[in-house]
Structure 1
Amino acid sequence: MNEPVDHPVNWLAASTRPYAKNAYLIVFLMVFLCGVVTCLALYHEEKQHILADERIAGEQFVTQLKDALNSYGKEIVSLSVMLQAIDEPLTYQVFKRASEQYESTEKNASLRLFFSQYVPAYHRNDYLEQQRSLVGQSGFTITPAGERAEYLPLTFGYPFLSHPGFDTLSDEAVNLAGLKRLRTQKSLEMSPPLSSTVDGKVQSLDKFALRYPVYLPLDNLNGRITDERGFYGVVGVVFDVSGLKAQLATQSERNFSYRLAEVTHDPQHPVWFADSSQHDNIHPNHEIYWRPGTYHSQVVHFAGCNWRVDTRYSATLISMVNWGLILSAFIVFSVLAVLLSAYVRMLSNAYNQTLRLAKDQIEVDELTGLFSRYKIQRELDEAIEDCQQKNFKLATFFLDLDCFKTINDAFGHETGDKLLIKVAQRLKSVFPDEAIIGRLGGDEFLVLLALREHEKSIYLEGLCREVILQISQSYFIDGRTLNIGCSIGVALHPNYGLNAETLVKNADMAMYEAKTAGRGTYYFYDEEMGARLSRNVRIETRLRQALQEDVLQLYFQPKVDLKTQKCVGLEALLRWDDSELGRVSPAEFIPVAEQTGIILTLGEWVIERACKHIVEWREEGVQVPPVAVNCSAAQLKRPNFLSHILSLLDKYKVDPSMLEIEVTESMLIEDAESCAELLRQVSQLGMKLAIDDFGTGYSSLSYLKDLPFDYVKIDQVFIHDIMEDNDHDVLTRAIINLSHELNLKVIAEGITRPDQLERLKGYGCDVGQGYLFSEALGANSMASDPMIMALCEQSRSASHQDKD
């Protein structure tokens, strides 16, 4: 055995040497760049934080604006309700008293309340006469002049009224369409910005009128004039922007600016009416201060109008950044870069030593001293290339220790590690010197051995046997004597693998076959194994699909009383015809189902389908005997096995006596204690129990004595040769006699010839099953089967006799 030799990792050293020489400069640059990146990140974070604060301040401002407008609207609605509650024609004194309670007049001294009364044409003169007497102005009239069907003049105002008598329904009125919409929809309506005039000159667009209709009940007018729907007039408030801004007190440490525009009719051309960054009320187009990207914009919807609100901090972004934090980070990283580069330079002398230590850890397994997983895989690649050049074969051995986990769990990982060391030593001693040995991890080892022309496969078989023999010898560790075995899988290059990955995979599969065969043995990978494993994978895939598509079928083979020749039971047999694989035998797909866990779903499907067929036969009037189903070890180990059967019996209303459970001896061997308790519970429900394939396993008489079995089924292997093989004949007779002594009935499987039947009847066998009586029948064939027909006829005869 060759010890691991020193192969310096020259490619690693050569590739890193120029960089190691200037490593301190690289470190300095990297740390310095990290400092620059950190400073940029801090600046970005500061920027995002400022922008977030600016956005929040803008949202708070918009909330305040909405609250102020909503307060106007609520109080106008309240004033309208108050005017509706008055039972007499409205006078100025009444309107004044109601207006004095308007809360917002305390917050905004510039507010003016007004009332426009509805006046139909026929009531115009009465209205004018009434107003002239109430107001005391003999010249009061409705303007502009002209005959109209109806009028809505400004009637009362508080604290004063501008343009008394102005008809808001005239063509000269502002927002006439909004007023008409207000009258029909009974909702708040706000006008576009209105201009202020001083000495007849337009000063600014700084006023708004918020209006709400007043409707009176038609059955309680008391002399008041309304239209046909009860429209009495419009109550409203006129407020200016300066009064509104007094209520928008922003609380921000930084200077905050905003501007407002009306965008209801043309969002692309806003009408600006407020700008806090200017002293003038009408804001000019300041392209620099309010350039795109420097502010946050929102739209406020209120009373049929849309206001655009732009907000921003007055100071520039650069002036608000915390430069002290950013510069501190830059200084810290610069100092750190200098210190680290100096430290790296001090460590440069230890670089080569560290590299050598890293190489040893990569290539040598620290525990056993064998090649590591990394190294053995590199050696395998090189060995394949060398064998291809020399036309040699390469044997790849995959070794796995048997039951190593048990020793680890029982005595601890320290004992397990010491055992692995001793196993590695024995591997070195038993394999030839030219063999390459490595540890893949855990308790798995990989051995490579090139075969010369004169060395045949028989040499490898002898080597495998010798390895298993040596590994299986006792080990004395920490005062304990430990025993362990191993399983070996072998794959040959180039026959069964042209590359390292394929060789290791095939050797691993061969080792798994050795484990399956009982451990402590070896197995050579061949084409048959590959084809079998490939077919098993295909069977697994198609079987899962068959369960989903419900293409499996249950057939039923009669069990016949050998004395009366009557059918006394049925055994459910699974049949599978696949569109791709053809007919697949249960002997082939059941083991695959057990290995992959599909057997659980498959077993539940069989029991439920058997219950469904029993119900269908009962509905068709077909009398059938109890149906026996086979249960796997995996099914019986499930804690919900019994509850699942009970739920199916309850779901399909099937009597428990109509089901029989067959279990194999292997289940009893694996977990006899828990299995016994489960079988007792099943028996207490009224289901018959049978031990299947008795005599083919590690048959124990205690199973028959201690467990509540009703039947013993003799495997068809004995029945097939009962006439030709004296040993099978003697064993069959002994099983029948023993079972009868224990009050158990015996079922013989696989009866195909009359002479077999006569021999079994002579031995006193109770029940027979096989092609001599009947093949397995489909579920739809029960009504036409002679045995089932005879059973039904017998049942009907017994029923008639009971009635008589």
Structure 2
Amino acid sequence: MIPLKSRIKSNKAHYIVFCIVFFFGIATSLALYFEEEHRILSKRVVLGALFTEKLQDGLKQYAAEQASVVALIQTSEWDVSPGRFSRFVQSFNGSPGVNFYFAQYVPGHQKREFETRQYASMNDTGFRISPEGERHEYLPITLRFPDKITYGYDLLSAEYLNHDSISSARNSLGLTLSNPISIPSFDGEQSSKVNTFVLRTPIFLPVDIRSEQMADSVGFHGIVGAYFTVDSLLKTVGPSESRDLFYRMADIATKKSPVWFSDSADTKVWEKEHYNTQYILFAGREWRIDTSPTQSIMAQINWWVVMAPLFIFCLLALVLSLYTRKLSSTYYSALSLVKKRLEVDELTGLLSRYQIQKELNDQILLCEKEGKQLATLVLDLDHFKTINDAFGHELGDKLLTKVSKRLVSVLPEKAIVGHLGGDAFLVLLVLDDSQDQTPLDALAKDVIQKLSQSYFVDGLTLDIGCSIGVALYPEFGLDGVTLIKNADMAVYQAKTSGRATYHFYDGEMGRRFARNVRIETRLRQAISKENLELHFQPKVDLVTERCVGMEALLRWNDEELGSVSPAEFVPIAEQTGIIIPLGDWVFEQAFKHILEWQELGIIVPPIAVNCSAAQLKRVDFLPKLLALLDKYKIDPSLLEIEVTESILIEDAVGCAELLRQISRLGMKLAIDDFGTGYSSLSYLKDLPFHYVKIDQVFIRNIIEDTKHEALTHAIISMSHDLGLKVIAEGITNADQLQMLKAFGCDIGQGYLFSKALGANTMSRDPMIVALNEQGLE
């Protein structure tokens, strides 16, 4: 049974089920949480990359617009007025917040002429190059849009704070981007807010249109520039890309002290380092863009998706735990019922097989501790199967119940009684120190006597006996299995001895049973490996002294067991069912030898083969026999079948019909061992026998024992009166032969004539040689 501790743990199964299912819910929710987190982080990367791409697109747009302005200047030469410049910039929808300008190169000696020309083109609004002073060259602003940049301001002036960047732009061949600067002012002061960048593109005129008034010695004509702020650049990024992000940007070309532009005053956003970084390479400078979501991951997670599995699994865990609890309750109720049925036999009310064996083990431990003997008694009812078959199992069960009650009443109070199953019971009795075997004998006799008294069941009076086998601890068994096995052997011996008796197990019985088991095992192997032999003993006509037949006899010489007598192994074969394949093997070997002898030219007399009851009961006995006769082409008249009286008693009607069919086929029939069984004369009168064989137990003492002499004479006379021939077995001396001849016995068999011969020596036997010579005559 399940230990109490294990049962207590098992009673918490519903808690375990709840925890397991709930754990899976937690695991599923965690998996979804991490999936959501991964999705959000991936989205952040995508948004950061998109934000950076939009910024880069804005810069490219500035560059494209500036390129248009450069093209305008290059193609118009002197014909670009401020009005036309303004209309042109407006024509391609200039980006908001961007200030375009053109600063034209002016040699020092052309200053006055240039100022006059510009003054005239500006409709008397006034124009002069500032700051004042004479220099060898100027780069004044001549065109602008819109109007935030001062006309005439000389970008090559030393007062201009970004003078160095102008020199760099003049010497470059393409677009350049300035360092971050404050909003440009040309009065010598700068705003404290550094958030402006300048895109500059130098204009160089082709050689064919250059002049000293328009370019320097290398064709430098001026610079087109575009001022824009970080705020105006961000306007090129749509709200869908920027509303969910914090950003900061820096021109990292100046490694020592980059200027950061950020829309978040909270520096903690960037301390956590939970942001994405992108880089832009534009106009020879490198920008770093950091983006961070405006919301935390926890705020962006879809908690309904994450928590839904946890709620579902929690509900499932609750339902399953309730179901498990109910199932567990039902299980333990059933377990309790099974335990009760395991301990108590439902039919008899005695201890069950399981419980009585447990009690046996407990009693062995107790007797070992106290140094006492334990008697193990196996009781088996006699002919109980007959009652079951005759009146049905229901009445048989009622009879078992009454037997159980009577058994308990006749046993001592200290006896422990259990039902082994079927019609077998087990009784355990601890013997006192002074108690010997005599009280057990008396108890066994008393139990047999009282259990054998009549029972009244359902209006029927039933009589039943019992046999008892006893095994003692510790002499004949130190454990329960051995004691029950030995007691079973003893009860089997009691039944063999005539039933309604008892038998004590002893060592010799165990050795005998062990040998029988070994014989059974080795016999099966001998049949499969064909390690058996058939020998043939001649049967002699006592008048002519000619061989008139032979009996096939089995011989077995085993590698382990040595020579084993048929009297020992044939009964074991009949008990275990080995007799069926063994009988088939004998018939086939006999036919093989007949065929071999015939091929050698030997005249073969009829061969007698013994058939057991088990063989004749088989429905396929005759078909298989006919198949073998046809296979080896054997004349049925060469076969004699010997049967014992036992088969006639067990199934007289079925056996009679089978024997008649065999006789009609031409095979002879003999009743074997006549006189040792019931010897019913009706068998000889009604059945088609040809021979009666007198058992050798009568022939052996026929000279010394007048009763055997009289019985033998009577059997011979009666058989002759019925038209049957008589065969006497076991003739060993001439005196026996003379007496049998005097009684008129027809055929004799025994060592006086010949022992059983091997198949290979048949041709050399004098009787067979004589038979063949007479046949040849």
Partner of 2:58: none
What's the Cα RMSD here? 3.2
Which letter does structure 1 place at the counterpart of 2:16? Answer: L
CA distance in 2, matches of 1:658, 1:564: 20
CA distance in 2, matches of 1:367, 1:412: 16
Aligned equivalents of 1:341, 1:610: Cα separation in 2: 70
Q: Out of 481, 498, 519, which is 2:499 matched to?
A: 519
Query: Aligned runs of 1:766-785 on 2, under 5 Å?
Result: 766-785=746-765
CA distance, structure 1, for counterparts of residue 313 and residue 740 of structure 2: 99
1:98-118 alpha-carbon deviations (Å, 9 max, x no partner): xxxxxxxxxxxxxxxxxxxxx
Q: Which runs of 5+ in 2 are unaligned?
A: 32-301
| Larger displacement relative to structure 2 (35-44 or 611-620) | 35-44
CA distance in 2, matches of 1:594, 1:631: 11
Equivalent residue, structure 2, for 1:618: 598
Aligned to 1:330: 313
- Judging changes above 3 Å, is the alpha-carbon distance between structure 1 residues 336 and 458 closer, same or farther for their aligned structure 2 residues? same
Query: 1:437: which partner in 2?
Result: 417
Shift of 1:783: 1.7
Question: SS of 1:371's equivalent?
Answer: coil
1:654 counterpart SS class: coil
Distance 1:367 1:552, change over 3 A: closer
Where do residues 307-346 of structure 1 align in structure 2 (5 Å cutoff)? Answer: 330-336=313-319, 339=322
Q: Give yes or no for contact 1:32–1:333 (8 Å, CA) kept in 2.
A: no
Mapping of 1:138-157 within 5 angstroms?
none
Call closer, same or farther: CA 1:518–1:332 in 2, change over 3 Å: farther
- Matched to 1:778, the amino acid is G
CA distance in 2: counterparts of 1:692 and 1:41, whole angstroms: 86
Aligned to 2:571, which of 572, 575, 591? 591
Instruction: Tell me how far 1:425 sits from its aligned partner.
Output: 1.5
Which of 704, 712, 715 is 2:692 aligned to?
712
Q: 2:522 is aligned with what amino acid? A: R
In structure 2, the CA distance between the partners of 1:636 and 1:354, relative to structure 1 (3 Å rule), is: closer
Query: Which position in structure 2 is the counterpart of 1:673?
Result: 653
Separation in 2, partners of 1:685, 1:536: 38
Unaligned 5+ residue runs, structure 1?
Answer: 1-8, 45-318, 798-804
Aligned to 2:637: 657
2:455–2:463: 8 Å Cα contact kept in structure 1? yes
1:702 is matched with which residue?
A: 682
Task: Note the 1:262-273 alignment, pairs <5 A.
Answer: none
Mapped to 1, the partners of 2:694 and 2:29 lie a distance apart of: 84
**Structure-1 residue corresponding to 2:715:** 735
SS of corresponding position for 1:601:
helix
Q: Secondary structure at the match of 2:500?
A: coil
From 464, 485, 493, the equivalent of 1:505 is: 485
The structure with more radius of gyration: 2
Equivalent residue for 1:546?
526
Post-superposition offset of 1:765: 0.5
Match of 2:403 among 412, 415, 423: 423
Residues 331 and 653 (structure 1 numbering): CA distance in 2 closer, same or farther, change over 3 Å?
A: same
- Give the conservation status (yes or no) of the 8 Å contact 2:17–2:317: no
Structure 1 residue 325, shift from structure 2 partner: 10
Residue 488 of structure 1 aligns with which residue? 468
C-alpha displacement at 1:702, in angstroms? 0.5
| Secondary structure of the structure 1 residue equivalent to 2:602 | coil
Structure 1's 35 and 630: CA in aligned 2 closer, same or farther, altered over 3 A?
A: farther
Measured after TM superposition, the shift of residue 775 of structure 1 is 1.0
Determine whether 1:577 maps to 2:560.
no
| Of 370, 386, 398, the match for 1:390 | 370
Paired with 2:737 and 2:325, the residues of 1 have a C-alpha distance of: 98
- Does 2:388 match 1:399? no
Question: Within 5 Å, which residues of 2 pair with 1:100-111?
Answer: none
2: distance between equivalents of 1:660 and 1:342? 75
Amino acid at match of 2:589: R
Q: 1:569 is paired with a residue of what secondary structure?
A: strand
Give the conservation status (yes or no) of the 8 Å contact 1:569–1:627.
Answer: yes
> What one-letter code is carried by the residue in structure 2 that aligns with 1:768?
G
Query: 1 CA distance for matches of 2:472 and 2:312?
Result: 63
Amino acid of the structure 2 residue aligned with 1:27: H
1:33 aligned to which of 20, 25, 29: 20
Identical columns (%): 61
Q: Distance between the aligned counterparts of 1:433 and 1:755, measured in 2? A: 65
Q: Does the C-alpha gap of structure 1 residues 713 and 38 become closer, same or farther in structure 2, counting only changes over 3 Å?
A: farther
Checking the alignment, whether the CA contact within 8 Å between 1:471 and 1:485 is kept in structure 2 is: yes
Output the CA distance in 1 between the equivalents of 2:324 and 2:746.
94
Q: What SS does the aligned partner of 1:588 have?
A: helix
What is the CA distance between 1:624 and its match in structure 2?
Answer: 2.6
User: Is contact 2:28-2:310 (8 Å) kept?
Assistant: no
Are the equivalent residues in 2 in contact too, given 1:35–1:329 (CA < 8 A)?
no
Structure 2 letter corresponding to 1:729? E
Amino acid at match of 1:630: N
The code of the aligned residue for 2:384 comes to F
User: Does the 8 Å contact 2:17/2:321 carry over to 1?
Assistant: no
Residue by residue, what CA displacement relative to the aligned partner does 1:624-674 show, whole Å, maximum 9, x if unpaired?
311111111111111121112212221222111111111111111111111
**2:442 aligned to which of 462, 474, 483:** 462
The 3-state SS of whatever aligns with 2:402 is: helix
Whether the 8 Å CA contact 1:436–1:448 is kept in 2: the answer is: yes
Q: Give 1:516 shift.
A: 3.6
> Equivalents in 2 of 1:638, 1:530: separation in Å?
33
Q: Matches of 1:652 and 1:343 in 2, distance apart?
A: 72
Match for 2:502: what amino acid? Y
- Alignment match, 2:544: 564
- Partner Cα separation in structure 2 for residue 324 and residue 796 of structure 1: 110
Q: Deviations over 1:76-112 (max 9, x none)?
A: xxxxxxxxxxxxxxxxxxxxxxxxxxxxxxxxxxxxx
Contact 1:656 1:686 in 2 (8 A): yes
**Letter in structure 2 aligned against 1:663:** V
Distance 1:575 1:40 in 2: 77
Contact 1:509–1:525 (8 Å) recurs in 2: yes
Distance 2:572 2:611 in 1: 15
Match of 2:776 in 1: 796
SS of residue matched to 1:740 = helix
With normalisation by structure 1, the TM-score equals 0.59
Pick closer, same or farther for the CA change 1:369–1:42 going to 2, 3 Å: farther
Compute the displacement of 1:324 (Å).
Answer: 12
Aligned residue pairs total 505
| Displacement of 1:412 | 4.2
Q: Cα 1:736–1:26, aligned 2, differ >3 Å: closer, same or farther? A: closer
Q: Which residue identity does 1:670 align to in structure 2?
A: E
Q: Distance in 1 between the 2:552 and 2:465 partners?
A: 41
TM-score calculated relative to the size of structure 2? 0.60
- Mapped partners of 1:669, 1:447: distance in 2: 36
- What is the CA distance between 1:368 and its match in structure 2? 2.8
Matches within 5 A, 1:746-785: 746-785=726-765
1:33: how far off?
1.9
Report if aligned partners of 1:39, 1:329 keep a CA contact under 8 Å in 2: no
Aligned counterpart, 2:60: none
**Conservation of the 8 A alpha-carbon contact between 1:489 and 1:511:** yes
Cα distance change on mapping 1:363 and 1:637 into 2, 3 Å: closer
Q: Alignment partner of 2:540: what SS?
A: strand
Q: Return closer, same or farther for 1:635/1:362 CA change in 2, 3 Å cut-off.
A: closer
SS in 2 for 1:490: strand
